[in-house]
Amino acid sequence: MGGLTFSNMPKPVLIAEALGGIILLLSYLALHQVLPLPASFSGAFAATILLIVGLMMMLPAAIVMMWRTAKAMAPELFNLSEKSSPGEKHDADY
């Protein structure tokens, strides 16, 4: 099993993570009116929309990392093919 690093992540997930970070930075700049935006797309509403979109783009990476962490911490929960057959009985008192 590979380590829990960003280099093992799928490329689309990494790209979405990077774009999400850039969009979060743009939302900050739009909120503080550092970034010149058209009048119809300026203000707190635009910053809120950019914030939500940025966070949604970063969610897939978080989900992949949580899934890999869960698999590393409890591999027996994910290896369903290695279950004992129904005929075998395992007694706790052996």
Instruction: Give residue-wise pLDDT tens across range 10-62.
Output: 899 999 999 999 999 988 988 888 877 777 777 788 889 999 999 999 999 99
- Please tell me the predicted confidence (pLDDT) of residue 47: 87
Residue with the bigger pLDDT between 56 and 82: it is 56
List the domain range (segments joined by +) for residue 15. 10-77
Dump pLDDT digits (tens) for 59-80. Answer: 999 999 898 888 888 888 887 5
Is position 41 within any domain?
yes
Number of domains present in the structure of the chain = 1
Rounded Cα gap, residues 44 and 85, in angstroms? 59
Is position 23 within any domain?
yes
Is position 1 within any domain?
no
Token duo for residue 31: 């909120």
Is position 2 within any domain?
no
Report angle CA 54, 42, 55 to the nearest 5 degrees: 10
Cβ atoms of 20 and 54 within 8 Å: the answer is yes
Rounded Cα gap, residues 40 and 77, in angstroms? 51
Is position 26 within any domain?
yes
Is position 4 within any domain?
no
Is position 3 within any domain?
no
